[in-house]
A and B are shown apart, each in its own frame.
Chain A
Amino acid sequence: MHTKKIAVIGAGPAGLGAASVLSRNGLRVSVFHREAAAGGHLNDWAWLFPRFVPARDVAVSMAAETRQVDFHPGCHIAGVSRHANGQFKIVMPDGQTEVADALVYAGGFRVFDASRKEELGYGIYPRVVTSADLEKMLAGEVPFPVELLQQQALRIGVVHCVGSRDEKSGNRHCSRMCCVTGVKQSIELRKRFPNSRVTAFYMDMRMFGNGYEELYLEAQRDWQVLFVRGRVSEVAESDEGRLRVKAEDTLLGRPIRDEFDLLVLMVGMEADLPKWLIEDLGVKQIDAGFARGNDELVASNRTPTRGLYLAGSCKGPLSVAEAWNDGQAAAQQLLLDLNR
């Protein structure tokens, strides 16, 4: 039975979590990953909430948990079909195929494209950046706008819920991670620019994880981050090149107008499922477009298609730790079914 071959699609936290459990249980595991390096979105992030751990270290330690696997980097799967005998045929971009007895789909999510919210000026004003852009700046991979470094009293605005809880951009769902990301990045900006003042515009602050609420209070108490409840309605550029922001202070019931040198948009997480997963393998979707397991409570990794399992943020926004655990859970589910 342990000569069975399992395919894992995606090598982010969930895919690596699944591959680690499967490979340590003596199964033959092939991992297909569209990027060159394993780690997924961890490779785009500098530090992780709530304790500012370097994201790349986490990616490395997750990858180190796997045993012998057949890793296919830079392999964006063209299609997968299921034979009558229950096996999966995986078509690689070069047309070559591989056959597996079971499949774990861990293809992850897509970061919201902030230029779709035209009123926020992303892609129009260079000083409007996204949380993903800011991570690259904090990591030193991309320079901060030069003028910022010379500025004495820097004003930085943080805009929450960009592309989340937003019917107009087709995303009714809450992306969950951006609240605490905004808190984390506000603290990092205050450390990086001690003369700065950070104002964060939010709808609700959802601090669901261990240490998140503490971080939210720390941002206010120790780093003087000002949280204003209200959605930014409009961003324009002043003659001096500063960003003019209009919002409603909903706790005071007053409209406000403010100017910033840098505006950071907390972009949400969107579904990013391949066509073949839905059309050829019969995976159902929730309203937000993410993949739906058999149920949300006890069988979220299972699908109606025998041998096909879902892992990680293809099912909805998850944190790094949640995605890793979900990948391991999907693999355990698969092992239970194999041994049945």
Chain B
Amino acid sequence: MQVRDLSMAGAWGDSVDVLKAIEPSLVNCITCGGCAAACAASANVSVAKAILLLRRGLLADARAALEGCLFCGKCRFVCPMGVNTRGVIAALTFSPDSSGNILHQ
């Protein structure tokens, strides 16, 4: 497996700051995985994993972890930390990054 350099330039950096401004509850995620367990769409969709990847600065991977999401909101219902998971998904999928680009192509 490829050894990855963990760059703090990205981790908790630009992308998190931008997304945090759109959906502040994002920072409360403790990556318990309740959202993934509750997901009705697919076994591969996980908001927790997306946030975890985002914190490591892996934006593309974070978006990939949400592919297939139906926006049903079950994950928001189970979240113990009150994270607005739908807001996080929307922010991650449709928001501009710090350079003004739309993240989602």
Contact = CB atoms under 8 A, between A and B. Distances in A.
- Is chain B a partner of chain A in the same complex? yes
Nearest to A156: B8
Q: Is the interface of A mostly helix, strand, loop or mixed?
A: strand
Interface string B53-68: 1011000000000000
Contacts of B27: 220-221
Contacts of A249: 6, 56
Nearest to B24: A221
Interface string B1-14: 11111101001100
Interface string A186-217: 00000000000101000000000000000001
A224 B52 CA distance: 13
A109 B101 CA distance: 56
B34 to A, nearest CB: 15
A70 to B, nearest CB: 51
Contacts of B31: 251
B53 A252 contact: yes
Contact of A257 (B3, B11, B16): B3
Contacts of A199: 6, 8, 11
A255 interface: yes
B contact residues, range = 10 to 19
Interface in B1-42: 1-6, 8, 11-12, 16, 27-28, 30-31
A256 interface: yes
B55 A226 contact: yes
Contact of B5 (A197, A221, A228, A256): A256
Interface string B79-103: 0000000000000000000000000
Given A220-B27, A221-B27, A221-B28, A255 B12 contact: no
Given A221-B28, A251-B52, A256 B8 contact: no
A258 interface: yes
Interface of B: 1-6, 8, 11-12, 16, 27-28, 30-31, 52-53, 55-56
Given A252-B56, A256-B3, 10 more contacts: A199-B6, A217-B30, A221-B28, A224-B12, A226-B8, A226-B11, A226-B56, A251-B52, A256-B5, A258-B6
Interface of A: 155, 197, 199, 217, 220-221, 224, 226, 228, 249, 251-252, 254-258
